[in-house]
Chains A and B, each alone.
Chain A
Amino acid sequence: MNRDGAAKISCKGPKESLVRIGEPPVYWKSAEELQNGARPLGEFPGGLPGNSPSQQTEDTRRDFLAMMGFTFAAAGLAGCRAPVQNAVPLLTGSDEIVPGVSNFYATTCGGCPSACSLLVKQRDGRPIKIEGNDRSSLFGGTCATGQATVLSLYDGERLHGPLWKGQPVQWPVIDGQVRDALRAADKDKRPIVLLSGTITSPSTLHIIGEWKKRYPSFRHVVYDAVSLSAMRAANAASFGRAAIPHYLFDKARMIVGLEADFLGTWLSPVEFARQYASSRKPEGNFSTHVQFESGFSVTGSNADIRVPVAPSEMGAVALALLRRIGRYAGVTDVPDSTESFADSKKLDAIAEALWRHRGESLIVSGVQDLSVQMAVNALNSWLGNIGKTVDLARPSYQRAGDDAAMAELVEQMNRGEIHTLLLHGVNPAYDYAEPERFTQGLEKVALSISFSDRRDETSSRAHAICPDHHFLESWGDAEPVDSHFSLAQPLIAPLFNTRATAENLLAWLGIESGHHTFLRSFWRENIFPRQNERPDFESFWDRSLQDGVVVVPQKTAAPPVNAFHGDWKTAAHAIVNEPGRADDRYQLHFYESVALRDGRHANNPWLQELPDPISKVTWGNYAAVSPKLARKLGLSEGDVVSLKTEKGQMQIPVFLQPGQHEKSISVALGYGRKQVGKAGQDVGANAFPLRRQSTVNVTLEKTGRTVKLASTQRHFYMEGRPIILESTLKQVRMESAAAESGEALPSLWPEYPQGEHSWGLGIDLTACIGCSACVIACQAENNIPVVGKDQVQRIRAMHWIRVDRYYTGPEDCPASVHQPMMCQHCGHAPCETVCPVHATTTSSEGINQQVYNRCIGTRYCANNCPYKVRRFNWYNYTENAKFDFNMNSPLGRMVLNPDVVVRSRGVMEKCNLCVQRIQLAKNLALQGKRTLADGDIKTACQQACPTQAIVFGDLKDAHSRVAQLHRSQRQYKVLEELGTRPNVAYLKKIRNTTET
């Protein structure tokens, strides 16, 4: 067993020279050694002579030093209050890194364009854990993907330096080549194009603006693999503003979703999840949520009413609502359309509820179709939601993809018109609907430069790869929502010889001052003037850097938002006259998987092994079909089928998904990467190429092959057991709110004396949306290994917290519930009595403690655990070539938490309530000569939870939040009747069926 995850790992502290290509990394055995072994002596006060590492080293290091310097004072101010809130830690004397002490820095997530604000835990110079930034007015908590991005930092497949025509070179070479090419292009006015994903960074956009000025032939094309361009177009047509509105779910009492997985992957899930949960409090306001969707999404699984609808019928749904709302609003000439998908009574009820809550209702649609979006706009504006729950004045910049522009660019490329193509954050060779068309075009481009961090499907075809920093290595900023700014700062000096894209763009403009300097000046000129809280820029900057976020008043010169003037009639008729489809054909529905999203995270083993919140399948995608259809076609789980559209076909195993619309087949995007790295290579099948044509007429054929899906939950029904208790809003309201439950069942034994504290968890099943962020957070915090597809198939996944998902009701349209299940820390734990060697006992503070080095691995405890939450190390998962994931490489092990033992083969492990965090908090309290306060300690799962469904605390303190939850009238304990006396209480799942 190995206490220091750090041990035997090359550490690259922020102040330490970079590992340059060919230079052996500095190895150190312990934090002490790190301190004087791995740090150059040059940076101590009184600047000892010598020590001048190579040029670019100096730069980065100075940046970091600078940042440290700047934030001295600020740290002093904010430091005393709550250290965890510091953007920059208190610095004692010479060294900002005390070995063994973690610092937290605010930064901005680069996992997806949602640009959530984060706090990152930095230990011994390494970022090892990502947490949500509670200072943010938009976000709180994180998503699973965000949690996992820290592992991507230590991905060995990242390029170690720039490549020119496949050969490693030094930056000046690249710079020279590029400058010449640009000059040439500029001379004969040939187009220079930056093809990027959505860029939320105002400073980078500013640089791009500079490029436009400098090179008249320069053009910026934004391409999102999964884009919302139809909505932008619709908004342009309806309100004169081509933007994505900022939705306010927390202000809505009636929410209708059309194929929009806004709690899972759509637009800004963390933000929406937070809003959504806050609008659904049984004690306060409780919105009603209706979801029309073809596949079973996380969002759908939380809806009060979920209506399975074929993708082709989404328009009809919008129209059906439009017609009814129209009647209320006095518009009568909405054309009729089919309503086969739901009985009209239900629709009437929904429409009635919408109208009753006009101004505080919200309809969102993720359908990439202009007419549907027009209809939705009409609905929202007739219901008076514009400006209330749909904010166009302060739009969201989180998706800016423009499909038309992209299509045109590809044509131009194929006509050989494009001279220089810069590719940033895009991978069209993999995720463009017509990949080969794109790659053909790419060959005709004179100079193509990719900023990708690795050799992927696209970058490997480009002339040059200028690998970008991981976002944890670089400066940056973001404006996810208009006037909501956030900053990003480096948590570690770049591991490899990479360079920030912004840095490149600046360099190639001839601006040598460096990205950090530019960023500061940009903020000084553009953002600092828009606020009046801070008189001088320095303090403004420091504060912003600490908080990570700053909200400023809106630009006075914001473009106006006109009243709705969209031509909804044409849209309506377009929907009505939409081509019908043959009945023997099926419709494909594509969705982003909660873990991999559009596939950019495919090489992240944590995410590959994260069970899908609904199907619980890991390591690969599948074609979800309804059990009814499966019976009709004689399909069973794992049968590989081939899906054919007019232009393409793919082979993929089927999964029987209750609640799937009978005519639709859902396939997750983002899988089947060909070039990404050993973890993600050829996992699943790539569905992007099937999106090119209408996905309405798809044929399905058996191939006869069968594969085994790696699922972590194999039985989906509760068998009538009281595991998840449900209730409706009505009932809860009827029961007297005063009623408090929670007295334990009688026991045969005398009460065991309790210690100073009694730790416990409270989990609100109403708030839990099943997003699984907690699973990855726990994995990152507790050094939980990845075991791979084969082991998952053998039911040996190691996650300490799993989110159980059960269906209730009919299989064609079941309701579903999520239940985070971790060790229940029983007061009378069955596992403890049977352990022959006292390897698991109850601590004086109520923790069911597992002592790895005492365990001899009889597995008796796991057998006797009614909750089956104990995990056994069937093999050595560390430094074992059979499990070649992050724990098998020194680089990958840098992510390990040095405060948690890395378990060896043959021992049992399980949730220990993040006892390392408890001990740390106690120690800090001791240092601060204060007592522990409620909320001082947050478990990893609790911190990550965007809906605050998980609450940790001291049950002995009657006023603590957790104690209140344990007294709540909704509280119950799973399998309490066994007399296990869990310290984890669940709050009943509440559905709001009152409205309809």
Chain B
Amino acid sequence: MDLAGGGLKALLMGRRFLVVAVLALGLGGLLAGWELSRVGVHQGYAPAQPIAFPHKVHAGDNKIPCLYCHYAARTSRHAGIPPASVCMNCHTLLEKQTVEIEKLKEAVQEQRPIKWIKVHNLPDFVYFNHSQHVLSGVACQRCHGAVEQMDRVQQMSPLTMGWCLECHREHAHIATADFQRVMQDMTHRPVPVAGLDCTSCHY
């Protein structure tokens, strides 16, 4: 009447084993699901830059407006990292010397482009246009967080589609229930409308 293998016996412990197995599977599933959902999300990414540029000092303490350096954000899809010449606009005049500023000046002397590291990376297949958002009055901090308080820039937002949509849904005049009415009183003045169409971002 005995059955084969001690391990097998353990396996065949009976009901209790069954319960445990079910619970384990359930938990494992949930964990795996959570992990999978975070694939490709780099929230909190804060790489060290070739020159430890402190936004805190510039944008925070000295209150330099974001768009002074990232001027392209007004007109282009890219906010743009300022060319070293923009840095030099001030740093040629400033006495203050630090190791980091030295690095900058060195680079300029040697014509060596500074290879910054991109912090906020959207997937390739999504089109994001800075100027569109800047002109529609979206504050930089809305997506980038309080950069003016950061010594090293860090990705605050998950940059997932769901996250984009949260904001777009707030400001959408499209596809809501009272859509018809909205369309009627929508003047033909260019009201910045956050699109909920796929082609607002994907093409």
Contact = CB atoms under 8 A, between A and B. Distances in A.
A touches B in complex, CB < 8 A: yes
A844 interface: yes
Nearest to B197: A843
Contacts of B65: none
Nearest to A95: B83
Most buried by B among A4, A99, A755, A932: A755
Interface stretch (A47-55, A557-565, A866-874): A47-55
A845 B188 contact: no
B196 interface: yes
B75 A98 contact: yes
A927 B203 contact: no
Contact of A849 (B183, B193, B198): B198
Nearest to A929: B190
A443 interface: no
Given A40-B111, A847-B199, A901 B125 contact: yes
A753 interface: yes
Interface stretch (B17-25, B139-147, B174-182): B174-182
A912 B203 CA distance: 8
Contact of A927 (B77, B82, B131): B131
A99 B80 contact: yes
Interface in B104-145: 108-111, 113-116, 118, 123-127, 129, 131-132, 135-136
* Residues of B contacting A: mostly: loop
B75 A927 contact: yes
A754 B131 CA distance: 26
Contact of B72 (A100, A753, A754): A100
A48 B83 CA distance: 12
B192 interface: yes
A539 to B, nearest CB: 27
Contact of B113 (A38, A98, A844, A851): A38
Contacts of B92: 46
Contacts of B190: 922, 925-926, 929-932
A845 B199 CA distance: 10
B202 A36 contact: no
18 contacts: A1-B124, A31-B76, A31-B78, A40-B111, A41-B83, A48-B85, A98-B80, A100-B78, A101-B72, A753-B179, A755-B174, A844-B195, A899-B77, A899-B203, A919-B200, A919-B203, A931-B188, A932-B190
Nearest to B128: A3
A3 B174 CA distance: 26
Given A48-B88, A931-B188, A98 B126 contact: no
Contacts of B186: 756
B84 interface: yes
Contacts of B200: 919
Contacts of B180: 753
Contacts of A927: 74-75, 131, 135
A756 B76 contact: no
A849 B197 contact: yes
Q: Across chains A and B, which 7 residue pairs bring their CB atoms closest together, nearest first?
A: A44-B85, A100-B76, A843-B197, A853-B125, A3-B124, A100-B77, A100-B78
A841 B183 contact: no
Contact of B183 (A755, A900, A930): A755
A852 B202 contact: yes
A32 B81 contact: yes
Interface string A110-128: 0000000000000000000
A95 B76 CA distance: 13
A629 interface: no
Nearest to A899: B127
B96 interface: no
Interface in A843-871: 843-845, 847, 849, 851-854
Contacts of B83: 35-36, 39, 41, 44, 94-95
A36 B117 CA distance: 12
Interface of B: 71-72, 74-85, 88, 92, 108-111, 113-116, 118, 123-127, 129, 131-132, 135-136, 174-175, 179-180, 183, 186, 188-190, 192-193, 195-200, 202-203
Contacts of A36: 81-84, 113-114, 116
A101 B78 CA distance: 9
Given A32-B80, A41-B85, A49-B109, A101 B192 contact: no
A2 B124 contact: yes
Contacts of A536: none
A916 interface: yes
Contacts of B197: 755, 843-845, 847, 849
Nearest to A53: B111
A931 B85 contact: no
A1 B125 contact: yes
A38 B188 CA distance: 42
Contact of A931 (B78, B109, B174, B189): B189
Given A32-B116, A41-B84, A931-B190, A849 B75 contact: no
Contacts of A929: 190
B93 to A, nearest CB: 11
Nearest to A840: B198
A964 interface: no
Contact of A844 (B74, B111, B116, B174): B174
Contacts of A99: 72, 76, 78, 80
B175 A844 contact: yes
Contact of B132 (A2, A843, A926): A926
B129 A41 contact: no
Given A36-B114, A847-B199, A851-B198, 20 more contacts: A3-B124, A36-B82, A37-B114, A39-B113, A44-B88, A92-B75, A94-B83, A98-B75, A99-B78, A100-B72, A849-B203, A852-B125, A853-B123, A853-B125, A853-B126, A922-B190, A923-B129, A926-B190, A926-B192, A927-B74
A101 B80 CA distance: 11
A919 B129 contact: yes
A851 B80 contact: no
B40 to A, nearest CB: 12
Interface string A473-486: 00000000000000
A227 B123 CA distance: 53
B183 A756 contact: yes
A210 interface: no
Contacts of A843: 197-199
Most buried by B among A40, A845, A926: A926
Contact of A50 (B82, B111, B183): B111
A926 B72 contact: no
Contacts of A7: 124
A899 B201 CA distance: 11
A48 B108 contact: yes
Given A853-B123, A912-B199, A753 B183 contact: yes
Contacts of B111: 40-42, 50-51
Given A32-B80, A45-B85, A753-B180, A3 B113 contact: no
Nearest to A848: B199
Given A36-B113, A101-B76, A92 B71 contact: yes
Contacts of B114: 36-37
A33 interface: yes
A915 interface: yes
Contacts of B115: 33, 37
A601 to B, nearest CB: 30
A642 interface: no
Contacts of A754: 183
A35 B109 contact: no
A713 interface: no
A40 to B, nearest CB: 6
A576 B51 CA distance: 87
B81 A3 contact: no
Given A36-B84, A50-B111, A753-B183, A900 B116 contact: no
A756 B175 CA distance: 12
A901 B122 CA distance: 13
B115 to A, nearest CB: 6
A30 interface: yes
A3 B76 contact: no
A168 B151 CA distance: 52
